[in-house]
Each structure stands twice: as structure tokens, then as C-alpha cells.
Amino acid sequence: MPEIEFKIDTETGECQTEIKGVQGAACEKTAQQLKQLLGAPTIDQKTKEYFAKPEIKRQVKGK
Amino acid sequence: MNGEIVFILEPDAGRVTVESSRVASKLAKEIERDLGQGNALNCARPISAFESSFVGNSDETQAADSDNLHIHLFRLYHDSAVDGAGRRSVVQVAGCSIRCAGCYVPETHERTNGRLVSIDEIIAEIDEQRERHDGVTILGGEPFDQAASLEILVEKLKAKNYHVAVYSGYTLESLSARECESVNRILTKIDLLIDGAFDRNLTKNAGEYRGSSNQRLIRYPISKTKMTDEKTESTISDEKKRKQSEARFNEFIAECLDEGWSPTKCPHGCVVEPDGVCPHDFKSVALELGFI
């Protein structure tokens, strides 16, 4: 079940947003829409679930 | 710990869930003014008024304690957002042999505070509320204190393809050391084990779904246990072995992320191109360390 979670720290005002249950391109699109609404995030990272997908193909580059 | 408000939007269901922690009552009233009167939701520290939760209709006098088709149930509730991934229906058993100091639910410690309820009755209630959950969580009390009944419950839930998570105050290692067939079979079937006794001194940054930071999320726990049941062992197919290996890999990644590693932050200290990953990607590291 797709969920968008907004976690607000009532003292610092910091808002942490997490998209859950939305896969692939749809997730990226939802994230873009949220960024348009809320502004650029200070930290932007994929969730554990994103990395845990076994079918993900990674591009490997050396140093 | 600062006050915190969490808004969870569910676009498909058109539902907003608001969870608050250490928030001034004035702020809570403002939210209620803007969003309307809410319905009480269960939380990590259950509210005392929980009248709508299911407690079953079985008559204790008709079922003996040794009957594995029944379980000592404290309550069954739905829509939990804190006891595992997604929305969960939660089977909370009565009776605990561990009784951690500072336990949030001491009322579940005595079996006599629950009722002996038919497992089929519990399954029927979960089936009926199928739309209200993504999976089922079994907690307590201590679920493994009723291992034979728990096995039947887990078996029936998995037969219906539910995602099943189980909490235990015992660690995976101590459960495996029991060399109990029921326990081993439970560990082969469940999707997630959250293990370890609650430690009230470790509540800070406990992590998702956990009460204290010593507790672990273990996906597909059988991959870390040694099977003692030959019959079960012989039925593990190559496909299952592949899934176990995959699960170990996924778990390894989760552990890496918990440690602050990421594909762009290699544990070997490599500097990584923004659009790529270093040669020591997770799979390489997992192989190197013998996780897969």
C-alpha cells in the first residue's frame, strides 16, 4: 500500500519525508513532485527497501 | 528526544494518519481543528481504552491448555503502523516468561490476563479484515512460550500467503539452541523476526519497529539457523536456497546501511563517481565477507 510519510520535529522544524510502497519510476516522479512542493531537501537518499531489491542492476565504475 | 508529529498519507485509501510523540496538547488540538476529530490508533505503548480489539469468543473451559489448536490471546487489533512494514493486523499473545524491566505492556505477562482462543477463530478475524492490513504481526507476551500453537498459527497464515512478522524477547541464537522442531519450523516460515529482550536503557534510536536498539530485524531467520528437522531440511529446494541467499544479501545491505555505508560511501574508503558505484559494491563486499 503506497504511503508518503512526513515526520516533523516540533522543536527544530525539520521535516523528513519518506515515500513507501511506490516502486521505480513512479517513486522518482512522486519524489520530484514533493520537491517542487517542499523545496530542495538538505539530504536526499534512497531507502533501504530501494537498495534491497535484488533485481537492481548497478553500474560499476572503478576509481 | 524532541517532539515529533508524523503525517502518513495513503493516496490509494485517501486516508491520513497522524501520529504524535511528546507534542504539546495545544498543537494536537490545532491539528484536530484542521483535520477533524480522529479515530484512536494503537501505538507502541497501547492506550488503555482498546474496546474494539478482538478478544475471541472461545470458551476457555472447553479447551485444555495442552490443545495446540488454541492460543492464549491477549488481544487482536488492526491498522498498526508500528509493528512491522505497512499496515499490520496484530495478534498479541498472553503470557511472558521473560518480563523485561520497563516493558510497555506488563498486562500481557500473565496468561490469565488473556483468553484461550481458537486459532481458526483468529484466522477468520484476520481474513475478514484482509483489506485493513498488508501483513500480520505476532507479539506478546512471548509468542515462543506457546511454540506448538504458534507453529500452527504461522503455518495457517503462511498458507494464505500473509507476510508474517514475529517478535520475541529471545534472540535467534537462543531460539535455535533450543533444538525444538516447532521453533525451527516457525523460523523457516516467518518473513521477519524481531528478536531480543527489551532494554529500557537502549530506547534511544531504537530503529524501525523496535523498542530498544539491541533488538534486531532479521529477515527470513532460517537462513541463519541450522536445521535440525531432517524432513524439513530435505524439502528445501534449490529455489528456497536461492531465496535464502538473496535474503542474506538483503539483510547484509540493510546492516550496511544501518552502519552508514551506501553504494556511494564504500567501506573501503573509495571515492565514487556520482553516477556510479565503486568496485567494492555491496555484492562484492558481501561475497568477500562470506555473506553470500
pLDDT tens digits for range B57-66: 655 545 555 5
| Domain-located, residue A57 | no
Calpha distance B134→B118 (Å, rounded): 23
Domain that holds residue A20: 3-51
CA distances from A16 to A8, B184, B287 (A): 6, 39, 34
Best-predicted range by mean pLDDT (A25-39, B92-106, B199-213)? B92-106
Q: Which residues face B17 on adjacent strands?
A: B8
- Please indicate whether, in this complex, the C-beta atoms of B277 and A59 are within 8 angstroms of each other: yes
Q: Inter-chain contact B275–A59, Cβ cutoff 8 Å?
A: yes
Q: Total structural domains in chain A? A: 1
Single pTM value for the model: 0.58
Look at residue B29 and tell me whether its pLDDT is greater than 80: yes
Q: Is B214 exposed, middle or buried (0-12, 13-18, 19+ CB in 10 A)?
A: middle
Residue B186 pLDDT level (bands cut at 50, 70, 90)? very high
Does some domain include residue A24? yes
**Is residue B144 scored above 90 in pLDDT?**
yes
Q: What pLDDT score does B187 carry?
A: 93
What does the pLDDT look like over B64-86, one tens digit per residue?
A: 555 678 999 999 988 787 788 77
Pairing status of strand B135-139 against strand B164-168: parallel
Mean pLDDT computed over B241-251: 65
Q: Which residues of B touch A15 (CB under 8 A)?
A: none
Three-state SS for A1-63 is CCEEEEEEECCCCCEEEEEECCCHHHHHHHHHHHHHHHCCCCCCCCCHHHHHCCCCCCCECCC
Question: Stretch B88-97: mean pLDDT, rounded?
Answer: 93
Model confidence at A42: pLDDT above 80:
yes
Domain assignment of residue A27, yes or no: yes
Whether residue A26 is contained in a domain is answered as yes
Task: Select from B1, B8, B30, B259 the residue whose CB has the most chain A CBs within 10 Å, as the one to mutate to test that interface.
Answer: B8
Name the nearest CA neighbour of A7 among B45, B209, B21: B21
| Residue A42 sits at the chain B interface (C-beta within 8 Å) | no
Of B133-137, B243-247, B264-268, the poorest mean pLDDT is in B264-268
The C-alpha cell at B10 is: 495513503
Please indicate, yes or no, if residue A42 is contained in any of the structural domains.
Answer: yes
Q: Is the pLDDT of residue A57 over 80?
A: no
Chain A residues within 8 A of B282 when measuring between CB atoms: 51
B246 touches chain A (CB under 8 A): yes
Inspect the interface and report whether the beta carbons of A3 and B8 lie closer than 8 Å.
Answer: yes
A29 in a structural domain = yes
Partners of A8 on chain B (C-beta within 8 Å) are 4-7
Q: Looking at the domain assignment, is residue A46 inside a domain?
A: yes
pLDDT of res. B183: 94
CB pairs under 8 A between A and B: 85
One-letter amino acid for residue A57 of the chain:
K
Report the alpha-carbon distance of residue B54 to residue B75 in Å, rounded.
Answer: 6
Q: Do A3 and B282 touch (CB under 8 A)?
A: no
Mean pLDDT comparison of B6-15, B33-42, B149-158, highest-scoring range: B149-158
On the question of pLDDT at B237 being above 60, the answer is no
Q: Which three cell numbers stand for residue B253?
A: 545491505
Shortest distance, CA B254 to any CA of chain A (angstroms): 6
Of residues B186 and B267, more confidently modeled: B186
Cβ B108 vs Cβ B93: under 8 Å: yes
**Mean pLDDT for chain B?**
76
Whole-number pLDDT of residue B13: 76
Report the pLDDT averaged over residues A36-62.
64
Give residue B238's pLDDT. 57
Give A3-13 pLDDT, tens digit per residue.
888 888 888 88
Q: What is the distance in angstroms between the Cα of B59 and the nearest Cα belonging to chain A?
A: 36
Helix or strand run (H / E) with residue B30: helix B25-35
Q: Quick check: A18 contacting B, CB < 8 Å?
A: no
Question: Does residue A30 sit within a domain?
Answer: yes
CB-based contact (8 Å) between B263 and chain A?
Answer: yes
Instruction: Give per-residue pLDDT as tens, B258-291.
Output: 665 554 444 555 544 444 444 455 555 555 555 4
Residue B48: its pLDDT value, please?
38
- Please tell me which of the candidates A3, A9, A52 has its beta carbon nearest to residue B4: A9
Q: Closest Cα partner for A38 from A63, A1, A3, A4?
A: A4
ipTM of the complex: 0.71
CB atoms < 10 A from the CB of B157, how many? 24
As a whole number of angstroms, the distance between CA B155 and CA B186 comes to: 8
